[in-house]
Chain A
Amino acid sequence: MSVSLEWKKVKRTGFLPAFFGGGTLAAIVPIINMAVRPERYLNQQGSPVQILLDANWQMMAMLNVLLIVAGTCLLYHTEYADNAMQKLKSLPVRESSVFLGKAVLTILMSFFVLVIEAVAVAFCTFHWFGIEKGFFSELCRCFGYSLLLMLPCVILSLLISEACKNMWVSLGIGVVCVFTATMLPTTNFVLSLFPFAMPFQVFAGADVAKSMHYIYGAIAELAVCSLAQLLFVKVRRGFE
């Protein structure tokens, strides 16, 4: 029920068009890249998914993370803008369940965005490389991995938005985090564990053991961020 309520609350906020538009923009990146310079990629070694993601994923991931930051800011802005949060707090509902509802909604929208991007990658493969056996399972694995690595970013971004009543502050912090993440080398394991940097990792062609480390890292970060949210609610209540 919590997710459907959150869905109702984002009516007329531009939340859905933002994710649809952002997802489409990110999906156009590999198509344009292939359309403009196909010769650069067609002669490369490796699977089409690996070639396409190696060439485009950094840009696509940056758009995805920016979209998550903007989306989460929007979700909490609707709560704070006209003081709806105060009314919500005086109703028999836990703040953590509101947070969870918003988290699930953002994850669903991120999944929707990744589906659009996966369709674009499938189109590029079909048009320029040709679809071979095992293509779709590889595509699902790659985008499933990307979704998993996005989760800590979603939760942390929501936590920042919940903490800042002024949307511009949370948006500013989010944008700074995104640009910090783009400056971190993706090859350095410890630095790329930064939640906003994790979505930049690519599964295709990567070492399985290393990918598993990132998965464990993502799960650990999810647990830490969720605990931080519970703690934050308790601490904030004490100061009100």
Chain B
Amino acid sequence: MNVIETKNLTKSYAGFTAVSGINLHIPKGSVYGFLGPNGAGKSTTMKMFLGLSKPTDGSFTVDGKMYPENRVQILKEIGSFIEAPAFYGNLSGEENLEIIRRILGLPKSSVAEALEIVGLTQFKKRLAKKYSLGMKQRLGLAGALIGKPPILILDEPTNGLDPVGIHEIRTLIRSLPEKFNCTVLVSSHLLSEIELMADIIGILNHGHLLFEGTPGQLKFAAASKGCPTDNLEDIFLALIDADNRQRGTV
């Protein structure tokens, strides 16, 4: 069963199409890795799922609910982290999560749990504006994880983290479907990261979905096109390069 499904989802701005008729299928309980170079349309797609951006054409369903008719119901099921950490700089980490907790109507203990998961417990009283970039990133993740939502949308969640932090967050994301029975859509341009985390991979370039399937299927598809299959990075680069040549953008 697919938790998120899109049908010819398109987003155009004046004279430029950011997402062009993509059909995504994100199965329940999986970690879906959304890969693509900068400007491929990953963030725009994720923003559409959250109602932050209105689709120009096409449609999508989240857990069987249609957008925009069930916007609020959809948002109740999604924990998200988009682009950069978003927070109230004048409030402490704990107070920031308290705001989200009250909006979501969660029990008080959920704030401490979220802080514990991302390793911010000892800094919970510090003002968010005084956090380092990595701590702000963790706070953003805590805001997405609070209440253990059934669907998580994470846009480049390891940006700004040190190698230890990247490893921790990667391990955390990998464990989420099993621990909390949730589905994760995670985007990154770090191929190694996606390779280690994702069950299903979607590759986006210039707003077009080039591939969707398991890492095994990706290797098979690459081999059939005569592309190198040694590692995901080579496959990804070969696919992007071939697509760029086809579109005449190289």
Contacts and interface: CB of A to CB of B under 8 A. Distances in A.
A90 B129 contact: no
Given A12-B90, A78-B88, A82-B87, A90 B103 contact: no
Nearest to B50: A90
Interface string A75-90: 0001001111111111
Nearest to A86: B86
Interface residues of A, number: 26
A17 interface: no
A1 interface: yes
Interface stretch (A3-11, A29-37, A55-63): A3-11
Interface string B77-108: 01010111111111100010011101110000
B117 interface: no
A90 B99 contact: no
Contacts, number: 77
A78 B104 contact: no
A92 B76 contact: yes
The winner among A13, A90, A93, A238 for most chain B CB atoms within 10 A is A90
Contacts of B72: 92, 94
A5 B102 contact: yes
Contacts of B91: 8-9, 11-12
A10 B53 CA distance: 27
Contacts of A82: 85-89, 128-129
Contacts of B103: 5, 88, 91-93
Contacts of A238: 54
A237 B86 contact: no
B117 to A, nearest CB: 18
Interface residues of B, number: 33
Contacts of A5: 99, 102-103
Given A84-B86, A91-B75, A92-B72, A9 B99 contact: yes
A240 interface: yes
Given A5-B99, A93-B103, A237-B54, A87 B87 contact: yes
Interface string A210-240: 0000000000000000000000000001101
Contact of A81 (B80, B89, B104): B89
Interface string B52-84: 111000000000000000001101101010111
A84 to B, nearest CB: 5
Interface string B28-70: 0000000000000000000000111110000000000000000
Contacts of B99: 5, 8-9
A91 B140 CA distance: 13
Contact of B143 (A1, A11, A87): A87
A145 B85 CA distance: 44
A92 B86 contact: no
A240 B54 contact: yes
Contacts of A84: 86-88
Of the listed residues B86, B89, B100, the one surrounded by the most CB atoms of chain A closer than 10 A to its CB is B86
B54 A83 contact: no
B112 to A, nearest CB: 18
A237 B50 CA distance: 12
Contacts of A11: 90-91, 95
Nearest to B102: A5
Interface of A: 1, 5, 8-13, 78, 81-94, 237-238, 240
7 contacts: A8-B95, A11-B91, A78-B90, A82-B89, A83-B85, A92-B104, A238-B54
Interface of B: 50-54, 72-73, 75-76, 78, 80, 82-91, 95, 98-100, 102-104, 127-129, 140, 143
Given A90-B52, A93-B103, 15 more contacts: A9-B91, A12-B90, A12-B91, A12-B127, A82-B88, A82-B89, A82-B129, A83-B85, A86-B52, A88-B103, A90-B51, A90-B78, A92-B103, A92-B104, A94-B72
